[in-house]
Amino acid sequence: MGKPHIYLDHNATTPLSRAVTLAVAKNEWLFGNASSMHRRGREARAAVEEARAQVAGLINAASEEIVFTAGGSESNNTVLRTLLDPPDGSIFARERTGLVTSVIEHPCILKAAEHLEGKGLPVSRVGVDVHGYVNFQELLEMLNSSTGLVSVMAANNEIGTVQDIAAIASLAHEAGALFHTDAVQAVGKIPVDVKAMGIDYLSLSGHKIYGPKGVGALYVRKGAPVSPLIHGGHQEHGVRAGTYNTAGIIGLGVAAQEAAEGLRKNSSREAGLRDRLLKSIRARIPGIRVNGDPKNGLPNTINISFSGAEGEAILLYLDMEGVEVSTGSACATGSLEPSYVLIATGLGTELAHGSIRFSLGRSTSERDIDYVGDVLETIIAKIRAMSTLFEGAKI
Protein backbone atom coordinates (compact mmCIF):
# COMPACT_ATOMS: atom_id res chain seq x y z
CA MET A 1 0.00 0.00 0.00
CA GLY A 2 1.44 3.34 -1.08
CA LYS A 3 1.76 6.45 1.01
CA PRO A 4 -1.27 8.77 1.23
CA HIS A 5 -1.38 12.14 -0.46
CA ILE A 6 -2.31 14.70 2.20
CA TYR A 7 -2.39 18.36 1.20
CA LEU A 8 -2.12 20.75 4.16
CA ASP A 9 -1.07 23.91 2.31
CA HIS A 10 -4.44 25.47 1.54
CA ASN A 11 -3.27 28.96 2.54
CA ALA A 12 -0.87 28.82 -0.40
CA THR A 13 -3.56 27.77 -2.85
CA THR A 14 -6.64 25.58 -3.02
CA PRO A 15 -7.74 23.05 -5.65
CA LEU A 16 -10.65 23.91 -7.89
CA SER A 17 -13.89 22.72 -6.37
CA ARG A 18 -15.97 20.34 -8.44
CA ALA A 19 -18.70 22.96 -8.85
CA VAL A 20 -16.19 25.51 -10.15
CA THR A 21 -14.66 23.01 -12.56
CA LEU A 22 -18.10 22.07 -13.92
CA ALA A 23 -19.19 25.71 -14.23
CA VAL A 24 -16.07 26.69 -16.18
CA ALA A 25 -16.40 23.62 -18.44
CA LYS A 26 -20.11 24.23 -18.96
CA ASN A 27 -19.44 27.78 -20.14
CA GLU A 28 -16.51 26.82 -22.36
CA TRP A 29 -18.50 27.96 -25.38
CA LEU A 30 -18.94 31.45 -23.91
CA PHE A 31 -16.03 32.96 -25.83
CA GLY A 32 -17.61 36.30 -26.71
CA ASN A 33 -15.99 39.54 -25.54
CA ALA A 34 -18.09 40.78 -22.63
CA SER A 35 -17.58 44.36 -23.86
CA SER A 36 -19.17 43.62 -27.26
CA MET A 37 -22.79 44.57 -27.95
CA HIS A 38 -23.78 41.60 -30.09
CA ARG A 39 -25.45 38.42 -28.80
CA ARG A 40 -22.29 36.52 -27.85
CA GLY A 41 -20.94 39.60 -26.12
CA ARG A 42 -24.20 40.10 -24.21
CA GLU A 43 -24.19 36.45 -23.10
CA ALA A 44 -20.65 36.76 -21.78
CA ARG A 45 -21.53 40.04 -20.06
CA ALA A 46 -24.52 38.47 -18.35
CA ALA A 47 -22.27 35.73 -16.95
CA VAL A 48 -19.79 38.34 -15.70
CA GLU A 49 -22.54 40.29 -13.95
CA GLU A 50 -23.95 37.15 -12.34
CA ALA A 51 -20.50 36.40 -10.95
CA ARG A 52 -20.19 39.99 -9.73
CA ALA A 53 -23.37 39.56 -7.71
CA GLN A 54 -22.10 36.26 -6.28
CA VAL A 55 -18.82 37.84 -5.14
CA ALA A 56 -20.68 40.83 -3.68
CA GLY A 57 -22.95 38.47 -1.74
CA LEU A 58 -19.98 36.80 -0.06
CA ILE A 59 -18.88 40.06 1.63
CA ASN A 60 -22.25 41.90 1.84
CA ALA A 61 -21.36 44.46 -0.83
CA ALA A 62 -23.36 45.93 -3.69
CA SER A 63 -22.60 44.47 -7.11
CA GLU A 64 -21.47 47.84 -8.48
CA GLU A 65 -18.81 48.00 -5.74
CA ILE A 66 -16.97 44.94 -7.10
CA VAL A 67 -14.07 45.37 -9.55
CA PHE A 68 -12.63 42.23 -11.14
CA THR A 69 -8.83 41.95 -11.16
CA ALA A 70 -6.18 39.32 -11.76
CA GLY A 71 -5.89 38.54 -8.04
CA GLY A 72 -5.03 39.81 -4.58
CA SER A 73 -1.70 41.38 -5.47
CA GLU A 74 -3.24 43.49 -8.22
CA SER A 75 -6.15 44.50 -6.01
CA ASN A 76 -3.78 45.54 -3.21
CA ASN A 77 -1.52 47.49 -5.55
CA THR A 78 -4.48 49.27 -7.13
CA VAL A 79 -5.57 50.70 -3.79
CA LEU A 80 -2.11 51.70 -2.57
CA ARG A 81 -1.03 53.20 -5.89
CA THR A 82 -4.11 55.44 -5.80
CA LEU A 83 -2.19 57.47 -3.20
CA LEU A 84 0.36 58.31 -5.91
CA ASP A 85 -2.16 59.28 -8.56
CA PRO A 86 -5.34 60.31 -6.73
CA PRO A 87 -8.52 61.39 -8.49
CA ASP A 88 -9.06 65.15 -8.45
CA GLY A 89 -10.93 66.36 -5.40
CA SER A 90 -10.50 63.12 -3.47
CA ILE A 91 -9.23 62.84 0.09
CA PHE A 92 -5.88 61.66 -1.27
CA ALA A 93 -5.57 64.80 -3.44
CA ARG A 94 -5.90 67.03 -0.37
CA GLU A 95 -2.44 66.31 1.07
CA ARG A 96 -3.62 63.13 2.76
CA THR A 97 -1.22 60.81 0.98
CA GLY A 98 0.25 59.06 4.03
CA LEU A 99 -0.03 55.30 4.46
CA VAL A 100 -0.16 53.38 7.72
CA THR A 101 0.19 49.62 7.48
CA SER A 102 1.50 46.75 9.63
CA VAL A 103 4.86 44.98 9.70
CA ILE A 104 3.29 41.57 8.98
CA GLU A 105 1.42 42.36 5.75
CA HIS A 106 1.68 40.24 2.63
CA PRO A 107 4.83 41.02 0.57
CA CYS A 108 2.76 42.75 -2.13
CA ILE A 109 1.60 45.34 0.42
CA LEU A 110 5.07 45.75 1.93
CA LYS A 111 6.70 46.17 -1.48
CA ALA A 112 4.04 48.61 -2.65
CA ALA A 113 4.56 50.59 0.56
CA GLU A 114 8.30 50.72 -0.12
CA HIS A 115 7.54 52.02 -3.61
CA LEU A 116 5.33 54.78 -2.21
CA GLU A 117 8.03 55.69 0.29
CA GLY A 118 10.57 55.88 -2.51
CA LYS A 119 8.31 58.38 -4.27
CA GLY A 120 8.32 60.61 -1.19
CA LEU A 121 5.03 59.58 0.42
CA PRO A 122 4.98 59.14 4.21
CA VAL A 123 4.68 55.50 5.27
CA SER A 124 4.37 54.19 8.83
CA ARG A 125 4.45 50.54 9.86
CA VAL A 126 2.76 49.52 13.08
CA GLY A 127 4.17 46.66 15.12
CA VAL A 128 2.41 43.59 16.51
CA ASP A 129 2.37 41.70 19.79
CA VAL A 130 3.48 38.13 20.47
CA HIS A 131 0.32 36.74 18.85
CA GLY A 132 0.52 38.98 15.78
CA TYR A 133 -2.17 41.46 16.81
CA VAL A 134 -1.68 45.08 15.76
CA ASN A 135 -0.48 47.38 18.55
CA PHE A 136 -3.38 49.83 18.90
CA GLN A 137 -1.39 52.37 20.88
CA GLU A 138 1.26 52.49 18.15
CA LEU A 139 -1.46 52.80 15.54
CA LEU A 140 -3.04 55.76 17.30
CA GLU A 141 0.32 57.50 17.55
CA MET A 142 0.97 57.02 13.83
CA LEU A 143 -2.36 58.44 12.65
CA ASN A 144 -2.17 62.14 11.84
CA SER A 145 -3.46 64.82 9.49
CA SER A 146 -1.36 63.48 6.58
CA THR A 147 -2.72 59.91 6.83
CA GLY A 148 -4.93 59.11 3.88
CA LEU A 149 -5.05 55.33 4.03
CA VAL A 150 -4.71 52.62 6.65
CA SER A 151 -4.12 49.11 5.25
CA VAL A 152 -4.16 46.12 7.63
CA MET A 153 -4.71 42.51 6.56
CA ALA A 154 -7.81 40.79 7.94
CA ALA A 155 -5.99 37.51 8.66
CA ASN A 156 -2.33 36.63 8.42
CA ASN A 157 -1.36 33.99 5.88
CA GLU A 158 1.44 32.49 7.99
CA ILE A 159 0.17 32.42 11.58
CA GLY A 160 -3.59 32.79 11.05
CA THR A 161 -4.03 35.79 13.36
CA VAL A 162 -7.37 37.53 12.73
CA GLN A 163 -7.30 41.27 13.37
CA ASP A 164 -10.14 43.34 14.87
CA ILE A 165 -10.84 44.95 11.52
CA ALA A 166 -13.94 46.86 12.64
CA ALA A 167 -11.98 48.53 15.44
CA ILE A 168 -9.01 49.39 13.21
CA ALA A 169 -11.30 50.78 10.50
CA SER A 170 -13.06 52.90 13.12
CA LEU A 171 -9.74 54.40 14.30
CA ALA A 172 -8.78 55.16 10.70
CA HIS A 173 -12.08 56.92 10.06
CA GLU A 174 -11.86 58.90 13.30
CA ALA A 175 -8.50 60.19 12.08
CA GLY A 176 -10.03 61.20 8.74
CA ALA A 177 -8.44 58.37 6.74
CA LEU A 178 -9.88 55.57 4.62
CA PHE A 179 -9.39 51.89 5.39
CA HIS A 180 -8.27 48.97 3.21
CA THR A 181 -7.92 45.34 4.17
CA ASP A 182 -6.17 42.53 2.37
CA ALA A 183 -8.77 39.85 3.10
CA VAL A 184 -7.35 37.21 0.77
CA GLN A 185 -6.86 34.73 3.64
CA ALA A 186 -10.02 35.68 5.54
CA VAL A 187 -12.73 35.61 2.89
CA GLY A 188 -14.36 32.20 2.71
CA LYS A 189 -12.93 31.08 6.07
CA ILE A 190 -14.51 33.54 8.49
CA PRO A 191 -17.46 35.93 8.14
CA VAL A 192 -16.48 39.16 6.37
CA ASP A 193 -19.06 41.96 6.13
CA VAL A 194 -17.74 45.16 4.54
CA LYS A 195 -20.67 47.21 5.77
CA ALA A 196 -20.62 46.04 9.39
CA MET A 197 -16.83 46.32 9.56
CA GLY A 198 -16.63 49.78 8.03
CA ILE A 199 -14.31 48.71 5.21
CA ASP A 200 -13.65 51.11 2.32
CA TYR A 201 -11.53 48.77 0.20
CA LEU A 202 -11.12 44.97 0.33
CA SER A 203 -9.00 42.57 -1.72
CA LEU A 204 -9.79 38.90 -2.38
CA SER A 205 -8.46 36.16 -4.64
CA GLY A 206 -10.11 33.26 -6.42
CA HIS A 207 -7.48 30.59 -5.85
CA LYS A 208 -7.73 30.90 -2.06
CA ILE A 209 -11.43 29.92 -2.09
CA TYR A 210 -11.34 26.91 -4.45
CA GLY A 211 -11.65 29.11 -7.53
CA PRO A 212 -9.30 29.66 -10.50
CA LYS A 213 -5.88 31.24 -10.32
CA GLY A 214 -5.35 34.56 -12.08
CA VAL A 215 -8.66 36.12 -11.05
CA GLY A 216 -9.68 38.15 -8.02
CA ALA A 217 -11.72 41.12 -6.98
CA LEU A 218 -11.41 44.50 -5.35
CA TYR A 219 -14.26 45.93 -3.30
CA VAL A 220 -14.42 49.72 -3.53
CA ARG A 221 -17.05 51.32 -1.30
CA LYS A 222 -19.32 53.58 -3.30
CA GLY A 223 -17.77 57.04 -3.29
CA ALA A 224 -14.29 55.91 -2.24
CA PRO A 225 -11.59 57.21 -4.62
CA VAL A 226 -9.67 54.75 -6.77
CA SER A 227 -7.35 55.18 -9.74
CA PRO A 228 -6.65 52.52 -12.37
CA LEU A 229 -3.45 50.54 -12.03
CA ILE A 230 -3.92 49.30 -15.60
CA HIS A 231 -4.90 51.99 -18.11
CA GLY A 232 -6.66 51.26 -21.36
CA GLY A 233 -10.28 50.49 -22.21
CA HIS A 234 -13.49 51.32 -20.38
CA GLN A 235 -13.90 47.98 -18.58
CA GLU A 236 -14.92 48.03 -14.90
CA HIS A 237 -16.08 51.65 -15.15
CA GLY A 238 -12.57 52.65 -16.20
CA VAL A 239 -10.97 51.29 -13.04
CA ARG A 240 -9.42 48.16 -14.57
CA ALA A 241 -8.76 47.95 -18.32
CA GLY A 242 -8.44 44.70 -20.23
CA THR A 243 -10.65 42.11 -21.91
CA TYR A 244 -12.69 40.21 -19.36
CA ASN A 245 -11.40 36.82 -18.24
CA THR A 246 -14.92 35.46 -18.55
CA ALA A 247 -14.17 31.83 -17.67
CA GLY A 248 -12.09 32.82 -14.64
CA ILE A 249 -14.71 35.29 -13.46
CA ILE A 250 -17.44 32.67 -13.77
CA GLY A 251 -15.31 30.31 -11.68
CA LEU A 252 -14.71 33.01 -9.07
CA GLY A 253 -18.43 33.69 -8.84
CA VAL A 254 -19.28 30.03 -8.24
CA ALA A 255 -16.46 29.72 -5.71
CA ALA A 256 -17.76 32.78 -3.86
CA GLN A 257 -21.29 31.41 -3.73
CA GLU A 258 -20.04 28.02 -2.50
CA ALA A 259 -17.91 29.71 0.16
CA ALA A 260 -20.87 31.76 1.39
CA GLU A 261 -23.21 28.77 1.56
CA GLY A 262 -20.72 26.47 3.31
CA LEU A 263 -18.92 29.00 5.50
CA ARG A 264 -20.26 28.01 8.90
CA LYS A 265 -20.09 24.25 8.30
CA ASN A 266 -16.60 24.28 6.76
CA SER A 267 -15.16 26.63 9.37
CA SER A 268 -16.50 24.53 12.24
CA ARG A 269 -15.25 21.27 10.75
CA GLU A 270 -11.77 22.64 9.98
CA ALA A 271 -11.46 24.20 13.44
CA GLY A 272 -12.19 20.79 14.96
CA LEU A 273 -9.52 19.14 12.82
CA ARG A 274 -7.06 21.93 13.60
CA ASP A 275 -7.60 21.39 17.33
CA ARG A 276 -7.26 17.62 16.89
CA LEU A 277 -3.90 18.07 15.16
CA LEU A 278 -2.64 20.51 17.78
CA LYS A 279 -3.67 18.18 20.60
CA SER A 280 -1.88 15.28 18.92
CA ILE A 281 1.33 17.26 18.41
CA ARG A 282 1.34 18.61 21.96
CA ALA A 283 0.85 15.13 23.39
CA ARG A 284 3.59 13.52 21.29
CA ILE A 285 6.28 16.14 20.73
CA PRO A 286 8.05 18.20 23.40
CA GLY A 287 9.83 21.49 22.74
CA ILE A 288 7.24 23.16 20.54
CA ARG A 289 5.80 26.66 20.37
CA VAL A 290 2.46 27.53 18.79
CA ASN A 291 2.64 30.82 16.89
CA GLY A 292 -0.27 33.19 16.49
CA ASP A 293 -3.46 32.69 18.48
CA PRO A 294 -5.11 29.38 17.54
CA LYS A 295 -8.07 30.03 19.84
CA ASN A 296 -9.12 33.11 17.88
CA GLY A 297 -7.25 32.67 14.60
CA LEU A 298 -8.24 31.23 11.24
CA PRO A 299 -10.07 27.93 11.76
CA ASN A 300 -7.84 26.05 9.34
CA THR A 301 -4.38 27.32 10.31
CA ILE A 302 -1.69 26.25 12.81
CA ASN A 303 1.88 27.51 12.79
CA ILE A 304 4.27 25.58 15.07
CA SER A 305 7.95 26.01 15.83
CA PHE A 306 9.91 22.85 16.64
CA SER A 307 13.01 23.50 18.71
CA GLY A 308 16.13 21.82 17.35
CA ALA A 309 14.63 21.05 13.94
CA GLU A 310 14.95 23.00 10.69
CA GLY A 311 11.65 23.81 9.01
CA GLU A 312 12.92 22.88 5.55
CA ALA A 313 14.07 19.48 6.80
CA ILE A 314 10.68 18.86 8.42
CA LEU A 315 8.91 19.89 5.21
CA LEU A 316 11.02 17.57 3.04
CA TYR A 317 10.66 14.59 5.38
CA LEU A 318 6.89 15.13 5.52
CA ASP A 319 6.78 15.38 1.74
CA MET A 320 8.49 11.97 1.48
CA GLU A 321 5.72 10.62 3.72
CA GLY A 322 3.02 12.07 1.46
CA VAL A 323 2.24 15.18 3.51
CA GLU A 324 2.49 18.63 1.93
CA VAL A 325 2.93 21.64 4.23
CA SER A 326 4.72 24.98 4.18
CA THR A 327 7.48 26.68 6.15
CA GLY A 328 5.56 29.97 5.85
CA SER A 329 4.25 32.05 2.99
CA ALA A 330 4.42 30.48 -0.46
CA CYS A 331 5.34 33.94 -1.77
CA ALA A 332 8.59 33.79 0.22
CA THR A 333 9.67 30.33 -0.93
CA GLY A 334 13.35 30.27 -1.83
CA SER A 335 14.37 32.78 0.80
CA LEU A 336 16.89 31.65 3.40
CA GLU A 337 15.81 34.39 5.78
CA PRO A 338 13.54 33.48 8.71
CA SER A 339 9.91 34.52 8.44
CA TYR A 340 9.58 38.28 8.97
CA VAL A 341 6.13 37.64 10.40
CA LEU A 342 7.47 35.36 13.13
CA ILE A 343 10.39 37.68 13.87
CA ALA A 344 7.94 40.58 14.23
CA THR A 345 6.10 38.64 16.96
CA GLY A 346 9.35 38.39 18.92
CA LEU A 347 10.25 34.84 18.00
CA GLY A 348 13.99 34.09 17.94
CA THR A 349 15.77 33.24 14.71
CA GLU A 350 16.37 29.57 15.59
CA LEU A 351 12.73 28.90 16.38
CA ALA A 352 11.58 30.92 13.37
CA HIS A 353 13.71 28.67 11.14
CA GLY A 354 12.07 25.63 12.73
CA SER A 355 8.48 26.61 11.95
CA ILE A 356 5.87 24.75 9.93
CA ARG A 357 2.48 26.01 8.78
CA PHE A 358 -0.33 23.48 8.53
CA SER A 359 -3.30 24.91 6.63
CA LEU A 360 -6.27 22.56 6.36
CA GLY A 361 -9.05 22.49 3.80
CA ARG A 362 -12.30 20.89 2.71
CA SER A 363 -10.63 17.61 1.74
CA THR A 364 -8.82 17.17 5.08
CA SER A 365 -10.09 14.22 7.13
CA GLU A 366 -9.59 12.90 10.67
CA ARG A 367 -7.59 10.02 9.18
CA ASP A 368 -5.28 12.57 7.54
CA ILE A 369 -4.78 14.40 10.83
CA ASP A 370 -4.00 11.20 12.75
CA TYR A 371 -1.52 10.10 10.08
CA VAL A 372 0.27 13.46 10.25
CA GLY A 373 0.57 13.16 14.02
CA ASP A 374 2.10 9.68 13.66
CA VAL A 375 4.71 10.52 11.03
CA LEU A 376 5.56 13.93 12.48
CA GLU A 377 6.53 12.43 15.83
CA THR A 378 9.01 10.12 14.11
CA ILE A 379 10.35 12.84 11.82
CA ILE A 380 11.00 15.35 14.61
CA ALA A 381 12.74 12.69 16.69
CA LYS A 382 14.93 11.77 13.72
CA ILE A 383 15.91 15.39 12.97
CA ARG A 384 16.58 16.19 16.61
CA ALA A 385 18.80 13.12 16.95
CA MET A 386 21.05 14.69 14.29
CA SER A 387 20.91 18.15 15.87
CA THR A 388 23.12 19.71 18.52
CA LEU A 389 20.55 22.40 19.27
CA PHE A 390 17.83 20.41 21.00
CA GLU A 391 18.14 19.44 24.64
CA GLY A 392 14.63 18.10 25.17
CA ALA A 393 13.30 21.01 27.21
CA LYS A 394 9.80 22.26 26.52
CA ILE A 395 9.48 25.86 25.39
- Closest of 298, 311, 300 to residue 347, by C-alpha: 311
Contact 214, 244 (CB under 8 A): no
Do residues 223 and 275 share a domain? no
pLDDT at position 12 is: 97
Domain limit, last residue, from 207, 241, 259 = 259
Q: So what's the pLDDT on residue 2?
A: 76
pLDDT score at 38: 95
The strand pair at 323-324 and 6-7 is best described as parallel
Position 1 in a domain: no
Residue 81 sits at φ, ψ, to 5 deg, of: -70, -15
Residue 21 CA to residue 236 CA, distance in Å, equals: 25
Strands 147-151, 201-205: pairing kind = unpaired
pLDDT of residue 392 exceeding 70, the answer is: no
Q: Which of 25, 331, 386, 395 is catalytic?
A: 331
Between the alpha carbon of residue 189 and those of residues 78, 149, 266, 319, the distances in Å are: 24, 26, 8, 26
Give the pLDDT confidence of 144-196 residue by residue, as tens digits.
Answer: 999 999 999 999 999 999 999 999 999 999 999 999 999 999 999 999 999 99
User: Which of 64, 102, 124, 88 minimizes the C-alpha distance to 344?
Assistant: 102
What DSSP designation does 14 have? -
pLDDT band at 390; cut points 50, 70, 90: low
CB atoms within 10 A of CB 68: 26
In a domain, 395, yes or no: no
Q: How far apart are CA 372 and CA 377, in angstroms?
A: 8
CA dist 278 and 262 (Å) reads 24
Pairwise CA distance, residues 276 & 312, whole Å: 24
User: In this structure, are 291 and 211 located in the same domain?
Assistant: no
What is the CA 308 to chain-centroid distance, rounded?
29
Q: Is 321 found in the same domain as 202?
A: no
DSSP assignments along 144-165, one per residue: -TTEEEEE--SB-TTT-PBP-H
- Kindly state whether residue 103 falls inside one of the protein's structural domains: yes
User: In the prediction, which pLDDT does 393 show?
Assistant: 43
pLDDT band at 391 (very low <50, low <70, confident <90, very high): low
The domain boundary, picked from 259, 282, 309, lies at 259
DSSP for 218-267, written as a single string: EEE-TT-----SS-SSSGGGGTS-S---HHHHHHHHHHHHHHHHHHHHHH
Residue 356: helix, strand or coil by DSSP?
Answer: strand
Residue 94 predicted with pLDDT over 90: no
Same domain, 106 and 119: yes
Domain presence at residue 394: no
The backbone torsions φ and ψ at residue 260, rounded to the nearest 5 degrees and listed phi first, read -65, -45
Same domain, 135 and 251: yes
The pLDDT value recorded for residue 3 is 85
Determine the pLDDT at residue 394.
45
Per-residue pLDDT at 337: 83
Tens of pLDDT, residues 34-84: 998 999 989 999 999 999 999 999 999 999 999 999 999 999 999 999 999
Residue 355 lies in a domain: yes
pLDDT at 29: 86
User: What gap in Å lies between CA 50 and CA 53, rounded to an integer?
Assistant: 5
- Of 249, 228, 273, 234, whose CA–CA distance to 370 is shortest? 273
Give 257-303 pLDDT, tens digit per residue: 999 999 999 999 999 999 999 999 999 999 999 999 988 999 999 99
Annotated catalytic, 331?
Answer: yes
Any idea what the CATH number is for the domain that residue 315 is in? 3.90.1150.10
Q: Model confidence over 248-263: pLDDT tens digits? A: 999 999 999 999 999 9
Examine the fold and report which residue of 259, 287, 312 is the final residue of a domain before the chain moves on: 259
Residues 254 and 218 in one domain: yes
Query: For residue 332, is pLDDT > 60?
Result: no
Mean per-residue pLDDT over the chain, rounded: 94
Rounded CA separation 261/256 (Å): 9
Q: What is the CATH number of the domain that holds 227?
A: 3.40.640.10
Q: Are residues 232 and 299 in the same domain?
A: no
Average pLDDT over every residue of 5-16: 98
The DSSP letter of residue 71 is S
Confidence of residue 1 (pLDDT cuts 50, 70, 90): low
Q: Are residues 70 and 213 in the same domain?
A: yes
Specify whether 51 is located in the same domain as 22: yes
Percentage of residues in the chain having pLDDT higher than 90: 89
Distances (CA, A) of 256 to 56, 101, 104, 187, 188: 9, 27, 26, 9, 7
> Based on the domain organization, do 100 and 217 belong to the same domain?
yes
Q: Are 125 and 236 part of one and the same domain?
A: yes
245 lies in a domain? yes
Same-domain check for residues 250 and 298: no
Q: Which domain holds residue 354?
A: 6-14+263-385
Q: Is residue 54 part of a domain?
A: yes
Q: pLDDT by residue (tens digit) across 229-241?
A: 999 999 999 999 9
- 393 occurs within a structural domain: no
Structural domain tally of the chain?
A: 2
